[in-house]
Chains A and B, each alone.
Chain A
Amino acid sequence: MTITLIVNEAEHRVAADPETPLLYVLRNDLKLKATRFGCGQGQCGACTVVMDGKAVASCDLPVSAAAGKTITTVEGLSTGGKLHPLQRAFIAEQAAQCGYCLSGILMAAKALLDANARPSEAEIRAALTDNFCRCGTHQRIIRAIQRAADEVAT
């Protein structure tokens, strides 16, 4: 079956079983490797993408449910060769250890900032409820999201 997806502002037609999780279509058909497998059950957030403005887990979402929706992945964060404020902030705060969780966290943070430009620390923590970090980089990640919000606001 051919399914049409709009990913990072480009239209893609992919031949895949409609039940295939969106994650595998992104990674294996579209070769967008930033979105990562963590659990396959929508529990850990490593596979988070932004779909129609909302952060969603792509690992247990059938690709058919994403047809025609607007999807953004980390590969679509920067525009015109310019890093997104979130990306700049994560570098500035050195907000990574292994970094495996970061793609999902960046997308959850993007959905948050797009909806709420000046989130409080508590709102940032709440927006990351479905994202895990095992290395313990939490406070750097929270600081980075605050920094990005500050940069966008000023």
Chain B
Amino acid sequence: MSETPVNAPRKLPGSLEANRRLDRWLRINRDGTVTVFPGKVEIGQGILTVFTQIVAEELDVALERVRLAPSDTSYSPDEGITSGSRSVQEGGIALLHAAAEARDLLLQRAASRLGVSLEQLAVEDGVVTARSGGAITYWDLTSEELLAREATGDIAPKSPKEHTLIGTPVPRHDIPGKISGAPAYVQDLELPGMLHGRIVRPPSPGARLTAFDEAQVRSMPGIVEVVRDGSFLGVIAEREEQAIRALNRCKRIAQWHEISALPGTDPRYLLRADAKTEVISEKSDEAALARSKRSLEAEYTRPFIAHASMAPSCAVATHDKGAFTVWTHSQGIYPLRTELTKVLGVPERAITVIHVEGAGCYGHNGADDAACDAALLARAVPGRPVRVQWMREDEFGWEPFGSAMVVRMSGAVDGEGRIVNWTHDLWSHGHSTRPVGRDGANLLGAWYLEKPVPAATPGNPPLPAGGSHRNAIPLYEFPNQRITNHLVLRAPLRTSALRSLGAHPNVFAIESFMDELAAAAGADPVEFRLRHLKDPRARAVIEAAAEEAGWRKGGKGDGARGRGIGFARYKNVGCYAAVVVEVEIGNEIAVRRAWAAVDAGLAINPDGIANQIEGGVIQTVSWTLKEQVQYDAQRVTTLNWTDYPILSFAEAPAVEVTLINRPGEPPLGTGEGAQGPTAAAIGNAVFNAMGVRVRDMPLTRERVIAALA
């Protein structure tokens, strides 16, 4: 173990550690406002509202005084990527402590100006009052130098008992604008002289452009430039519809050499692929193993799933006097900037990346690629901004998918109905090919240039969060267990982070298998889980979800309707969630109702948490019942919403969320907490209803019928 040098700077909470200056996070303005500089970005999860709540709370100012600066590589703190449900733990915690220190600095100034001690002071909405009389405002106390210093980590934020804003359902700051038609997304950005670009993507991965008659496109109305660099092909036009017409003509006349060879759509192709195998958890107890009474094995699969954002990716870029400015809905402006240097061949100081919201992304979609596309087109028309809007088929065809996975489980119970052995083997491609890659560049356009910058080696985030192995290690206590990750590095299709990464298939497998073992042991699924769980917070969410749902011990479905439960602690270190669903099986499998219980530690915005969990449940119902990316031997054939149906308004379940608030515990993100438990709850409810187990997602009527046969 290394020792900490005596005078090493103290480790600071959350993202404050890497961005230590207070004025990187906050500014107290003379005009009675406070500006917050978040490094984490809004991806539809409502995080910016939470940040305003945290800052207003710690500073003791009204919420209305808090302004949000757009995230921009010119000045924002570098918080890496907004992902993994880490924004509260990293960005929120940093702001909490930065605001507490700012308040302390303001109070010290007030004490000296009013000639009283700190203990004599009280603050209300930025007005500092001395008990002996006399008052001064933050807005009079502030100056440029006030926060021009590093955080110390010495000032404790308020105790939960003192909270007046944290813990309350503060309304989202962005909804009034969004329902009034105000420009809200990068798609809505319009700069003077802006041109419209489209990218002519190849018909299949790796295809090379072999013949293309530019003249046929240059002569079209409104065409400003046709950009060809190797097999990267784009058009730039004065008007958007002109760019689309040019795109369509390009698609007709461009000739490509296709090289891809895709496997069948059954994820079991993974079992035959070369894999890097690693045992990630092992426990052994021979005596317990000897008590095995009944053994089971089961295999679960998930196909490739698309993020399928409502808005195809979009970006605007300018190239002027050698410098690039890129407006993007990327989840990581700094990593994107680093990645762009490899493609554009300019240093970081020549690139400014500015975040503007896009639609909900649910992980690594085409956002960064569109930014690269826009920069590549902008380079061809210096001085004029270029807006690149991907078409729907670009997003479906080229976004990185959530990897297909296969999970094989085996286990045994003893005569008392306790699990004595548990193995979990998973096969998957890597779940992270985001910028920044360790080698190469993870930007689609770069792979097709005359001098390509190849893709980085795909991989996984390390444990405990993990990638394909996220949530593969169960929270249950088993005397014998072996968890093995088989990582298949060569992916036929591009894969990267999709909301919850491997947790969705891993928890589907773990929690389905728990039910299979419970059935083998003749135990009730809720009671069986509690039997193997010590963590009181885990037990509490299971008990709460069961209670809210009116769980009947040993209750059986009626052949059409049934209920099931699923549980996980997200990433084994994040929020706890248990979900009960009720399914109805007729012409299709329908989830009618769901009850979720969640423990996210200190709940900063209870309605924000409920919204994330409701959304997580509903989206997972869609993934689990309906979704699968289609492809043939060469091409992705999922190109529009008809090819990729998602849950409709007619099908969406009613979801009730029970929040277990733990003010004494650190706050935990909830954006991905519902995915795994919901998927498993559906499979378990189908079993409860029909007595058959469907182990391949999506869980369709055809698969139920096949299982019945």
Nearest-CB distance from A137 to chain B (Å)?
6
Which A residues touch B391, using CB under 8 A? 40
C-beta contact mask, A69-93 vs B, less than 8 Å → 1, else 0?
Answer: 0000111011000010011001100
**Contact of B617 with A136 in the complex, beta carbons under 8 Å:** yes
Partner of B649, one of A103, A128, A135: A128
* Smallest Cβ-Cβ distance to B392: which chain A residue: A39
**Contact of B652 with A97 in the complex, beta carbons under 8 Å:** no
Task: Count chain A CB atoms within 10 A of each CB in B174, B642, B648, B654 and give the residue with the most.
Answer: B648
**Contact of B360 with A134 in the complex, beta carbons under 8 Å:** yes
Asked if B323 lies at the interface with its beta carbon under 8 angstroms from chain A, I say no
C-beta contact mask, A19-32 vs B, less than 8 Å → 1, else 0?
Answer: 11100100110011
* Smallest Cβ-Cβ distance to B359: which chain A residue: A100
Interface stretch, picked from B43-51, B142-150, B286-294, is B43-51
Which A residues touch B648, using CB under 8 A? 128-129, 132
* Smallest Cβ-Cβ distance to B242: which chain A residue: A17
Compute how far the CA of A96 lies from the CA of B183 in the bound complex, rounded to whole angstroms. Answer: 16
List residues 338-387 of chain B with CB under 8 A from any CB of chain A. Answer: 357-360, 362
List residues 84-114 of chain A with CB under 8 A from any CB of chain B. Answer: 86-87, 90-91, 94-103, 106
**Contact of B241 with A137 in the complex, beta carbons under 8 Å:** no
**Contact of A90 with B179 in the complex, beta carbons under 8 Å:** yes
C-beta contact mask, A123-148 vs B, less than 8 Å → 1, else 0?
Answer: 01110110111111111111000000
**Contact of B181 with A140 in the complex, beta carbons under 8 Å:** no
User: Size of chain A's interface in residues, with CB distance under 8 A?
Assistant: 59
**Contact of B178 with A28 in the complex, beta carbons under 8 Å:** no
**Contact of B312 with A37 in the complex, beta carbons under 8 Å:** yes
Given contacts A20-B241, A98-B360, A103-B181, contact A140 B611 (CB under 8 A): yes
Asked if A34 lies at the interface with its beta carbon under 8 angstroms from chain B, I say yes
List residues 160-185 of chain B with CB under 8 A from any CB of chain A. Answer: 169, 171-172, 174-176, 178-185
Which A residues touch B360, using CB under 8 A? 97-98, 100, 134-135
**Contact of A46 with B311 in the complex, beta carbons under 8 Å:** yes
Partner of B171, one of A41, A83, A94, A100: A94
Asked if A4 lies at the interface with its beta carbon under 8 angstroms from chain B, I say no
Partner of B174, one of A17, A38, A99: A99
* Smallest Cβ-Cβ distance to A20: which chain B residue: B241
Asked if A61 lies at the interface with its beta carbon under 8 angstroms from chain B, I say no
Task: Count chain B CB atoms within 10 A of each CB in A37, A94, A100, A135 and give the residue with the most.
Answer: A135
Given contacts A46-B311, A136-B619, contact A91 B179 (CB under 8 A): yes
Asked if B258 lies at the interface with its beta carbon under 8 angstroms from chain A, I say no
**Contact of B310 with A98 in the complex, beta carbons under 8 Å:** yes
Asked if A54 lies at the interface with its beta carbon under 8 angstroms from chain B, I say no
Given contacts A36-B187, A132-B641, A133-B310, contact A96 B179 (CB under 8 A): yes
List residues 54-75 of chain B with CB under 8 A from any CB of chain A. Answer: none
**Contact of A96 with B178 in the complex, beta carbons under 8 Å:** yes
Asked if A44 lies at the interface with its beta carbon under 8 angstroms from chain B, I say yes
Nearest-CB distance from B240 to chain A (Å)?
5
Nearest-CB distance from B606 to chain A (Å)?
11
Task: Count chain A CB atoms within 10 A of each CB in B176, B311, B612, B646 and give the residue with the most.
Answer: B311
* Smallest Cβ-Cβ distance to A86: which chain B residue: B179
**Contact of B172 with A41 in the complex, beta carbons under 8 Å:** no
Compute how far the CA of A135 lies from the CA of B618 in the bound complex, rounded to whole angstroms. Answer: 8
Given contacts A33-B183, A41-B392, contact A136 B618 (CB under 8 A): yes
Which A residues touch B617, using CB under 8 A? 136
Partner of A126, one of B640, B647, B650: B650
Nearest-CB distance from B404 to chain A (Å)?
21
Which A residues touch B654, using CB under 8 A? 139
Asked if B190 lies at the interface with its beta carbon under 8 angstroms from chain A, I say yes
Partner of A91, one of B171, B184, B188: B171
Task: Count chain B CB atoms within 10 A of each CB in A28, A31, A75 and give the residue with the most.
Answer: A28
**Contact of A98 with B649 in the complex, beta carbons under 8 Å:** no
Which B residues touch A134, using CB under 8 A? 308-310, 359-360, 362, 619, 646
Which B residues touch A94, using CB under 8 A? 169, 171-172, 175, 607, 611
Partner of B241, one of A17, A100, A136: A17
Nearest-CB distance from A116 to chain B (Å)?
16
Which B residues touch A41, using CB under 8 A? 392, 640-641
Given contacts A24-B241, A37-B389, A97-B360, contact A44 B310 (CB under 8 A): yes
**Contact of B641 with A43 in the complex, beta carbons under 8 Å:** yes
Asked if B655 lies at the interface with its beta carbon under 8 angstroms from chain A, I say yes
C-beta contact mask, B645-665 vs A, less than 8 Å → 1, else 0?
Answer: 011111011110000000000
Asked if B80 lies at the interface with its beta carbon under 8 angstroms from chain A, I say no
**Contact of A40 with B179 in the complex, beta carbons under 8 Å:** no
* Smallest Cβ-Cβ distance to B43: which chain A residue: A98
Given contacts A39-B640, A97-B611, contact A138 B310 (CB under 8 A): no
Which B residues touch A136, using CB under 8 A? 614-619, 622, 647, 652
Which A residues touch B655, using CB under 8 A? 139
**Contact of B607 with A137 in the complex, beta carbons under 8 Å:** no
Which A residues touch B640, using CB under 8 A? 39, 41, 43
Given contacts A36-B311, A78-B180, A134-B310, contact A90 B175 (CB under 8 A): yes
* Smallest Cβ-Cβ distance to A46: which chain B residue: B310
**Contact of B310 with A100 in the complex, beta carbons under 8 Å:** yes
Which B residues touch A142, using CB under 8 A? 649, 652
Nearest-CB distance from A58 to chain B (Å)?
13
Given contacts A21-B241, A39-B392, contact A140 B310 (CB under 8 A): no
Which B residues touch A126, using CB under 8 A? 650
Which B residues touch A20, using CB under 8 A? 239, 241
* Smallest Cβ-Cβ distance to B185: which chain A residue: A100
**Contact of A87 with B180 in the complex, beta carbons under 8 Å:** yes
List residues 610-645 of chain B with CB under 8 A from any CB of chain A. Answer: 611-612, 614-619, 622, 640-642
**Contact of A97 with B46 in the complex, beta carbons under 8 Å:** yes
Nearest-CB distance from B464 to chain A (Å)?
27
A28-B240, A46-B311, A97-B612 given; name 5 further pairs at CB < 8 Å.
Answer: A16-B241, A90-B179, A129-B648, A137-B618, A138-B652
List the interface of chain A (C-beta within 8 A of B). 16-17, 19-21, 24, 27-28, 31-34, 36-41, 43-44, 46, 73-75, 77-78, 83, 86-87, 90-91, 94-103, 106, 124-126, 128-129, 131-142
16 A/B residue pairs, CB under 8 Å, sorted by A: A21-B241, A33-B183, A33-B184, A34-B182, A38-B310, A44-B310, A91-B176, A99-B174, A99-B179, A100-B44, A100-B358, A129-B648, A129-B649, A136-B618, A139-B618, A141-B649
List the interface of chain B (C-beta within 8 A of A). 43-46, 169, 171-172, 174-176, 178-185, 187-188, 190, 221, 239-241, 244, 308-312, 357-360, 362, 389, 391-392, 607, 611-612, 614-619, 622, 640-642, 646-650, 652-655
User: What 10 pairs across the A-B complex have the smallest Cβ distances?
Assistant: A98-B44, A136-B618, A34-B181, A136-B615, A138-B652, A98-B360, A100-B359, A128-B649, A99-B178, A74-B181
